[in-house]
């Protein structure tokens, strides 16, 4: 059976600030800022300077450009995601995403602004430098935002052999499980085969029991400003 968490309007309003400090801005950033800003630069001729003047991908069909940037950026995210779980300084800008204890599409929007700045600078910077068509960031942004909500959705779904190729909530929700070691598993975002290729896949035949940070003795602060500043707190204990 498929279990779907149902939200009424009041529940969503009450939970949104605590679950997602960035909330909607995290969804619209790749679409509004990435696509519109890049489109303006393309129109004004900014994109005809530096590397972008060579137009490495500008002659490709738009759909090929979208596939290219989706696959290459997804591999970058996989590598960077693993590093975030391995190195304590990078973990500090990622732990806000893991602090949610109810994993669903709302909690999936929760990210530290510095983490967003790093990832989306690389995502859209590559498109600009390689001379992508102006519509590519728009399409890629919609795909990324939608897929991020999908893999965090509170849906008990089994996708069979397809899960070996594309990612879904079946595996990514386990990435947030407290039952896993701190170094983590299931780092893939859109393409699940990275985890199988590099042997970081974890696919039990059930849903996890608990989600959230690994250390219950160090509760994550509430409130947007406090959560942002928490990334810069001193390391009082080794390995924290």
* 8 Å CB contact between 101 and 15: no
pLDDT at 20: 43
The model carries a pTM of 0.75
* 8 Å CB contact between 142 and 34: no
Range of 47-51, 72-76, 154-158, 174-178 with top mean pLDDT: 72-76
pLDDT at 140: 93
Distance CA(120)–CA(38), nearest Å, equals: 13
Residues 133-191 pLDDT 10s: 999 999 999 999 899 899 888 888 888 899 999 998 888 888 888 777 767 889 999 99
* 8 Å CB contact between 203 and 170: yes
**Phi and psi for 157 in degrees, rounded to 5?**
-125, 145
* 8 Å CB contact between 67 and 83: no
Range of 16-20, 51-55, 175-179, 228-232 with top mean pLDDT: 228-232
Distance CA(155)–CA(114), nearest Å, equals: 29
């Amino acid at each position: 059976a498929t279990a779907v968490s149902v939200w009424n309007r009041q529940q969503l309003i009450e939970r949104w600030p605590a679950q997602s400090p960035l909330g909607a801005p995290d969804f619209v950033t790749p679409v509004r800022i990435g696509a519109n800003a890049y489109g303006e630069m393309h129109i004004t001729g900014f994109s005809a300077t530096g590397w972008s003047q060579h137009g490495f991908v500008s002659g490709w069909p738009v759909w090929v450009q979208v596939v290219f940037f989706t696959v290459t950026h997804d591999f970058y995210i996989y590598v960077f995601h693993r590093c975030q779980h391995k190195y304590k300084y990078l973990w500090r800008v990622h732990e806000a995403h893991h602090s949610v204890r109810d994993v669903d599409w709302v909690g999936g929007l929760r990210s530290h602004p510095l983490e967003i700045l790093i990832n989306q600078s690389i995502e859209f910077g590559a498109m600009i430098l390689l001379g992508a068509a102006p519509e590519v960031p728009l399409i890629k942004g919609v795909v990324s935002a939608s897929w991020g909500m999908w893999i965090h959705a509170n849906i008990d779904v089994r996708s069979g052999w397809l899960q070996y190729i594309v990612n879904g909530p079946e595996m990514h929700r386990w990435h947030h499980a407290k039952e896993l070691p701190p170094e983590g598993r299931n780092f893939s975002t859109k393409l699940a085969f990275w985890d199988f290729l590099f042997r970081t896949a974890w696919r039990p035949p059930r849903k996890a029991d608990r989600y959230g940070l690994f250390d219950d003795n160090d509760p994550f602060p509430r409130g947007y400003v406090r959560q942002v500043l928490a990334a810069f707190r001193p390391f009082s204990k080794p390995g924290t």
